[in-house]
Amino acid sequence: MSDIISTMFNKPFMEELLRPQDIYSHRAMRTLLTRIAHASIMRLNPASMDKLYDLMIMAFKYQVQLCPRPRDLLLVTLNHIDTIKSFVRHNPRLSNQIDEAQRQLIEMYKPLTDGEFHLIRQTLLIFLQDMHVRVSVFLREKLQNANGHFVLSTSGPVPQGSDVPGLIRLFNNQGKEVKRCEFPSGGTYTSPVREGSFDMAGDRVTRLGTNMYSESAENTQTSGSPKFKQNSQADTTPNPLAKEELNLLAKLMGGMEVQDSPSGNSAFRVNLFTTDQEEEEAGTASETHGMFSVINIQATKDHRANSELARIAGEFTDHEENSDAPSSKGDHLLSLMDDL
Amino acid sequence: MYHKEKSIQIKSSASALYNNLSVLRIAPRSLTYFAVVHANVVNMVSASWDGLNYSHRQLQSKEGSVATSSSLIMQAAWCVLPSRELLVLTSQRGIQMYESDGSIMVYWHALDSPETPTAQAVFTRGIAAVREKYICVGISSGSVLVFDVPSKGSNITLSEVLEEHKESITDMASECSGSLECIADLVSADDSGLLCVWKSGEDFQLLNKIPGFDMSCSSVKLWKGTVVAGYGTGQIRLYEAVTGILHAEINAHARWIYSLDIAPFTGLLLSAAEDSLVRVWHLTMTPETNNVEIEHLYNECVTDTQICGAKFCDGDGYAFAVTGYDLTEIIRYTQG
């Protein structure tokens, strides 16, 4: 944990993050998050990493989509930071590092207008578009439907600054209210709750961004067959600047203490599937639809499932070949990070 | 009042952008065109009125000589002028104008983008066709570009730059009643909620500035001299354009309003927000007493959907269409 936090909040990395720049592609984001995860002694094979990525993305999407006001994005971030601080409260060096990062975030984002926050939120929603992986804890808590879309309630408190819908006020030319009528709002809304704190410490009020597992003890699984990304046009178009960004990021992260392939004893392997065998099978499927055009058909008991997997893997491979540069870009980037 | 019709499937889902649905009714061919933005692509569908034929086209954001671009399209809308109809796309790099079926690009205006990204986002947003020959487009800096459009051909020129807004333009609307008596031709709105009212001409004239309360106005319409503005707080306000007199204030939605539309022949108003609700209202004007009234008629809840576009499909408001974030369909409703 300390390794990961120390990597994420180190000064040059934070400076790079806070520089004005375009949003990353999914490929870049996944690479970055993989690198962060591997800054610790944790090791995840591609299949488990895929699952972890899907889980992180869906949890983040939930928080972004459910924010009642765009400004609440900052409160969610502060919730994240509050929790991270509590993980390392006995480590003064790390606590200071996080405090400094938090100061920078508040300084940068607190002065933004609602319109500017909303542009950030809209851009994030575009990045998160079309991701509908079902997450068991969300399904169980009835926060997500079976089709992967989140539940948007039409009841509860309205956001700060808004009024409960249902009132029409009419004014005359002198500005005097002359008529008032009500209309059915179609929901059951209540007045806003108190404003959360945007300071270094304080009650953030919103639950978004807090530990979503705090009430459930089970492992979370992402259900369904491996999610193959939709052919989003925004994703496949190569951004020439992105490679430069990623190279710089790679250099910055490479500067941190990194555990090379650890000996069997000191590493611990994270498996997000229920059994090792499942992880291995999923891993095989992942490899076949990676950057290679060879399709490996693994002999398994269920012949039908296997050929279905092979067919899907084949489709994905064709997709990779048709797009312009992402494959080669990904290759180069990953090898670059391996060199560090 | 309305019932749900068969939805139209689109090739990719709608992005969470203001006013993310444009509709063009082509009566002579019994067709209706729909346009929905997905990141850097516009999904266009042409639907025949008998419901039997649908054809799709995807328009990629093209910037100058670059064939495809990753820059996001902020808005796509048809501009109806007396002599022609153009499809206008506003993106992070500039403005593109196409023939109404999206087949040919007629004009491209590049925005002065900085070499390296700045903290202030740069983009274009807000589209309106004004009177006989103007197309106006807003910029993130607050400027409004006025383009002079000839009755045919691609000799479109930048006629004027209007500098009144200090915040990013969110939406713009021209007088849609068809009445020539109205003095105000155009209203522009920005992220601070400021509304500017203009009269068109060789030089556009600023008629009025209606201040916002630091609350973004995401969608605006102008009908019979009345500005209808939808805000991020979920409020709708009706102002008399030229004087700025507030006629009505409605606590309309529980979340950010994304789209407003008016059916000019009947005065029906459509509002849609992130709260999953579409509402239909009725505006009545009494010109003798300068009275404006609004009453609520109907609610439609699009379950678990952050609505990002809602438009009437005809001038009477007999039918309307809705788009939602992450939805790959255009949902339609018809009276009866």
Q: Do A165 and B254 touch (CB under 8 A)?
A: yes
> Amino acid letter at A144?
Q
Helix axes A326-339, A26-37, angle to 10 degrees: 20
DSSP state for residue A144 in the 8-state scheme: B
Q: How close B150 comes to chain A (CA, Å)? A: 34
Within 8 A by CB and 6+ apart from B13, the residues are: A129, A130, B38, B325, B326, B327, B328
Distant-in-sequence contacts of A286-295, Cβ < 8 A, 24+ apart: A286/A46, A286/A47, A286/A50, A286/A226, A287/A46, A288/A313, A288/A317, A289/A228, A289/A313, A289/A316, A289/A317, A289/A320, A290/A46, A291/A320, A291/A327, A291/A330, A291/A331, A292/A317, A293/A317, A293/A321
- Which of B307, B316, B310, B309 minimizes the C-alpha distance to B335? B316
Q: Do A20 and B117 touch (CB under 8 A)?
A: yes
Convert the pLDDT of each residue in B142-158 to its tens digit.
999 999 999 988 899 99
Please state the φ and ψ torsions of residue A220, each to the nearest 5 degrees.
-95, 135
Q: How close A118 comes to chain B (CA, Å)? A: 9
Mutate one of B11, B42, B70 to test the A interface: name it (highest A CB count within 10 A). Answer: B70
Q: How close A204 comes to chain B (CA, Å)? A: 20
Q: Which residue of A has its CA nearest to B140?
A: A116
Decide if pLDDT at B284 tops 50.
Answer: yes
Q: What is the dihedral of CA A23, A26, A30, A36, to 10 degrees?
A: 10
Put simply, whether B217 touches A (Cβ < 8 Å) is no
* pLDDT confidence of residue B33: 96
Decide if pLDDT at A310 tops 90.
Answer: no
* pLDDT confidence of residue B179: 83
**Per-position DSSP letters for A243-301, written without gaps between them:** HHHHHHHHHHHHTS----S--TTT-EE---SSSHHHHHHHHHHHHHTSS--PPP----S
Confidence band, pLDDT 50/70/90 cuts, at residue A269: low
What ipTM score was computed for the predicted complex, to two decimals?
A: 0.92
Nearest CB among A22, A68, A169 relative to B117 is that of A22
Average pLDDT over residues A209-227: 54
Higher model confidence: residue B92 or residue A324? Answer: B92
Q: Do A170 and B293 touch (CB under 8 A)?
A: yes
**Stretch (H or E) spanning A106:** helix A92-109
Decide if pLDDT at A108 tops 80.
Answer: yes
* pLDDT confidence of residue A35: 84
Convert the pLDDT of each residue in A6-30 to its tens digit.
888 888 888 888 887 777 888 888 8
Put simply, whether B311 touches A (Cβ < 8 Å) is no
Give the strand pairing for B54-60 and B41-48.
Answer: antiparallel
Decide if pLDDT at B288 tops 70.
Answer: yes
Nearest CB among B252, B277, B326 relative to A130 is that of B326
Q: How far apart are CA B323 and CA B311, in angstroms?
A: 9
Q: For residue B33, with 0-12 CB atoms within 10 Å meaning exposed, 13-18 middle and 19 or more buried, which class applies?
A: buried
Nearest CB among B119, B216, B253 relative to A115 is that of B216
Give CA B265 to chain center in angstroms: 18
- Which of B215, B221, B202 minimizes the C-alpha distance to B283? B221
Higher model confidence: residue A1 or residue B177? Answer: B177
Convert the pLDDT of each residue in B55-81 to its tens digit.
999 998 766 555 455 788 999 999 999
- Which of B105, B103, B71 minimizes the C-alpha distance to B90? B71
* pLDDT confidence of residue B259: 97
Q: Do A114 and B232 touch (CB under 8 A)?
A: yes
Q: How close A169 comes to chain B (CA, Å)? A: 5
DSSP state for residue A337 in the 8-state scheme: H
Q: Do B250 and A184 touch (CB under 8 A)?
A: no
Q: Do B216 and A20 touch (CB under 8 A)?
A: no
Mutate one of A129, A164, A230 to test the B interface: name it (highest B CB count within 10 A). Answer: A129
Confidence band, pLDDT 50/70/90 cuts, at residue A89: confident
> Amino acid letter at A11?
K
Q: Which residue of B has its CA nearest to A168?
A: B250
Domains of chain A: which residue ranges? Answer: 2-220, 238-339
